[in-house]
Amino acid sequence: MTDQHSPASDADLPVRQVFEGEFVNATQPQMRPSRWQRFMNTWGRSPRVPLWAKDRVHAAQAAKDLAVMVLRSPFRFLGAVARGLVVAVRWWRSWVTVRDYREAAEQSEKLADKFTDIRALTLFRWKVTGAVTATVPTLGLVGWLLYGSRALWVAGTVAAVALAVLGRRKDGSPGRRAVLAGPRTLTWTMDPQVLVDAFRDAKLIGKDETLRLVHRATREGEGWAVTVDLPATRKAVDIVKNRDALASALAVDEIQLSVERVRGNGGHAGRVALWVADEDPYSAPPIRTPLLAVERWDVWRPVPFGTDARGRRIDLPMVWTSMLIGAIPRQGKTMAERLAAAGLILDPHVRVYVADFKNGKDWKAAEQVAHRFMAGDDSEYVLRFVDWLVELVADVQARYRRMQDLDDLTCPESKVTPTMSRDVALGMPITALIVDEVQIPLEDRTPVEVQGKKLTAGEYVGELLMWLAKKAPAAGVILVLATQRPDGKTIPSGLRAVLGSRFALRVMDWRDSNIILGEQMNTRGYDSSRLLPSHKGVGILRPDGETQAGTDVLALTVRTFYMPNEDWREICAQGRALREQEGTLSGHAAGQDAPPVLDQAAVAKAIGSAPTATRAEHTEETGLPEPLASVVDYLADDLDTGGRGFVPTAELVAVLGMESTAFGLDMAKYGCSPKRDRVPTDDGVRQVRGYVVADIRAAAERLRDAAVIDLEMIDNGDR
C-alpha cells in the first residue's frame, strides 16, 4: 500500500488508499517440526513435567519460593516442635486419665459397674509414666558416659524431629494457611477408571453405574479416541448436550473434546464416541484449499470445505440443497461462502449469479465467470436483484414444464440429473445464486407493485427467495446466502426453514446461533456463540447430506480451508478458461449483460404474493394490533388449516424478536393467555409454555369483528 501525497504543499497530510475486506489469519503452513521441536512440544504438553521445568517464569518463581522456604525453615521447625510438645502432653494427659475407656463406659451407661476397672487402669498407667520418667534420664546418663555429648545430641535431634512431625499443621487445623493443589490434568487415557470417574463427576452417570468399553483408547490424529456404552438408562444425546461438563471433568477445554453419538448398524442410542485433542485443534496454521491443486471440479461431487477437529476433510454437498452462512463481522463468513462457490466456479457447466451487497473487493474476481454480477448496496441494486429472482423463478417453472415431456430414462424423477445438467439442448445447467450480505435486500423498504398490490422490496425478495429455496434445488438452482445479521426480523422464519445446509461461525449469543442452525440446537450441544474470538473461520456446520463424519451426523465443528484473494483470483481465472474452452461462457462474463426478460404476472401467481398482499391489506383494514398481527401472519397457514394446535412461546419470541415478558403482557391484553402443553423434540417429549392456536384465531376474529362493527357504525353515521 503506497502513499499518495498531494502536490499542493509539503504540509499537506498524506492521503492513503482505503481497502475493505475481512481479516483472516494469513499465517503460512509451517514445515514439519524437527526432532528437537517435537521433543520440546511433548515436554511442554506432558502433565508429568512440573511447571517450573517448562517455563522460565515459573522456574524463577520456584527458585524464589525455595529461597524463602530455606530462610523460614528454622523458625517453622521450632514452631512445629513446640506444637508437637503440646500435642504430646495433651495425648499423655488423655491416656493417663483413661479418657477413652471412661467415654466408652459412659456411652454404654455402665460407668458405675466399670469404676473399679477404670481406677485400676488409671493407677497402672501412672506407674508406667513414672517408670518411663525414671528410665529416660537413666538411659541418657548411660549414653553420655559411654559416648559423650554426641549421644545427647542424637537423642535430642530424634526427639525434636519426632515432635516436629507430630506437630505439623494438617489440613483443617486452626491457623493453617490455604494451599492450592496442583492443576488437574487429563489422565484417563492411562487409566479407564478415571474416565468413569469423570462421567460420575459430571453427573452423567450415577455413582453405582459404570461404562462399558467398546473400543479401547487409541491414538487418532493428534488426540485420543475411545468408544463407550452408557448404562441402560442413559442416552447419548445427554452426553452431547453436556459436553462442557464432561470437558471440565476431564480437565480439557471443551473445544478439545468431540462427543458424537454412534448411529447406524454399529451404534445405538446409548453409544458414545469420544475424541480428545492433545491441544487446541484450531490453534495450528490454516490449511489452504485443495481446489488449488485441481484443474476442474465436478459440481456433483461435494466441495472441499474444511477440516474437523481430528483433521478429517469435510466436503460440502451443493446440489439439491441450499445454504445459509451467518456470523458477526470479521469471522471468515465471506471466505466460507467463497469456498462453497469455488467448486461451482471450477465446473464449466455451472451458471453463476453473484450479488455482492457488501460492495467490496471480495467478489470482484468472480465477475469474469458470472452469468449475472453486481456489487452495490443502494436501492437500485436491490430492484435489479428482484429482477434476477423473477428471472430465476420463471426459469425454474420452465424447467419443470420441460421435465414433463422427458422420458423416464432421461429424467427418472422430477430432479435434474448430471446428464441433464450438461445437455445444452435441455437448458438446465446447475445454477448457483450467491448472495453476500443478504440482509440488505431483505430489509429494503423501497415500495414495489406486484399485480396491483404494493409491497416493500424486502418483503418481495423474501417471498421470491422462499419460493426458490422450496422448489428450485430439485430443478438444479442452488442458493448460497450469507449474512452478518442473523436475527429473526432479518431472515424470515419461512426462508430459514427451507435452507438445508447451515454454517454458523461465531455469533453474539445462543439465540443468533439457533436462528442459523435451527431451533433448540443450543440445547443439543451446538452453540456457535461459545467459539473463541481467535478461531477465525471456525464454525458449526449442519450439513444437508453425507459428510466424512457420517451420514447421520446432526452437526459438527469445522474449520474452513484458507483461500486468500490471490488463490480466489486464480480459481476464478481457471473457471473462465474452462468456460471458454467448453463454450459455456455466458451473460455478464461474455459481455452479454442484457436485462432479463420478465413475466411478472406468472411469477407473482406462482409464489402467491398477491394473496399475501391481500392478507396484509385485510389486516390493516381490520386493525389487528401488534404483536397479534405478526403472530397471525406467522401462523397464517396453521390458522387456516388447523395444522398446529399449539405453538411454544419461545418460538414466537424468537421469530418476532421480542422480549418474552413484554410479549406475554401484550398478548394477554387481547385475551390470549399462555398455557402448558407437551411438545415432541429430538430429546423426547417436553412440557413448555405456549399458546393454543384456536385461542389466537378466536382473538383475531373477535378483534376483526369489532373493527368491522366500528367501521359500519362510522359509515352509518356518515350517511
pLDDT higher than 60, residue 717 = no
Residues 513, 659, single domain; the answer is no
Residues 365, 475, single domain; the answer is yes
Count the Cβ atoms, other than its own, within 10 Å of residue 168: 15
**How high is the pLDDT of residue 170?**
55
Mean pLDDT value of segment 342-369: 94
Q: Give the range of the structural domain holding residue 209, as residue numbers without chain letter.
A: 192-277
44, part of any domain? no
6, part of any domain? no
Of 213, 247, 277, the residue that ends a domain is 277
User: Confidence class of residue 503 from pLDDT cuts 50, 70 and 90?
Assistant: very high
Mean pLDDT value of segment 241-246: 89
Residues 696, 572, single domain; the answer is no
Residues 534, 658, single domain; the answer is no
User: Confidence class of residue 668 from pLDDT cuts 50, 70 and 90?
Assistant: confident
Residues 563, 650, single domain; the answer is no
Residues 401, 473, single domain; the answer is yes
pLDDT higher than 50, residue 171 = no
Alpha helices in 108-242 (DSSP H): 115-147, 149-166, 192-201, 236-241
Residues 111, 82, single domain; the answer is yes
26, part of any domain? no
pLDDT single digits (tens) 63-73? 887 888 888 88
* Range 650-658 contact pairs with CB under 8 angstroms and sequence separation of 24 or more: 650/519, 650/688, 650/690, 651/519, 651/690, 652/690, 652/691, 654/488, 654/511, 654/514, 654/515, 654/519, 655/488, 655/493, 656/488, 656/489, 656/627, 656/630, 656/631, 657/487, 657/488, 657/489, 658/627
681, part of any domain? yes
Q: Are 421 and 428 in contact (CB under 8 A)?
A: yes
Name the amino acid, one letter, at 330: R
Q: Which tops the pLDDT comparison, 553 or 9?
A: 553
Q: What pairs with residue 482 in β-bridges?
A: 325, 436
Of 255, 277, 299, the residue that ends a domain is 277
pLDDT single digits (tens) 633-660? 777 656 655 567 788 888 887 777 677 7
Of 236, 251, 277, the residue that ends a domain is 277
**How high is the pLDDT of residue 6?**
41
Residues 430, 499, single domain; the answer is yes
CATH at 524: 3.40.50.300
Residues 379, 502, single domain; the answer is yes
Residues 152, 232, single domain; the answer is no
pTM of the model: 0.63
Count the Cβ atoms, other than its own, within 10 Å of residue 275: 20
Residues 63, 103, single domain; the answer is yes
What's 100's DSSP letter?
H
17, part of any domain? no
Residues 252, 337, single domain; the answer is no
Mean pLDDT value of segment 440-447: 91
616, part of any domain? no
**How high is the pLDDT of residue 719?**
44
Number of folded domains that form the chain: 4
171, part of any domain? no
Mean pLDDT value of segment 166-188: 58
644, part of any domain? yes
User: Confidence class of residue 102 from pLDDT cuts 50, 70 and 90?
Assistant: confident
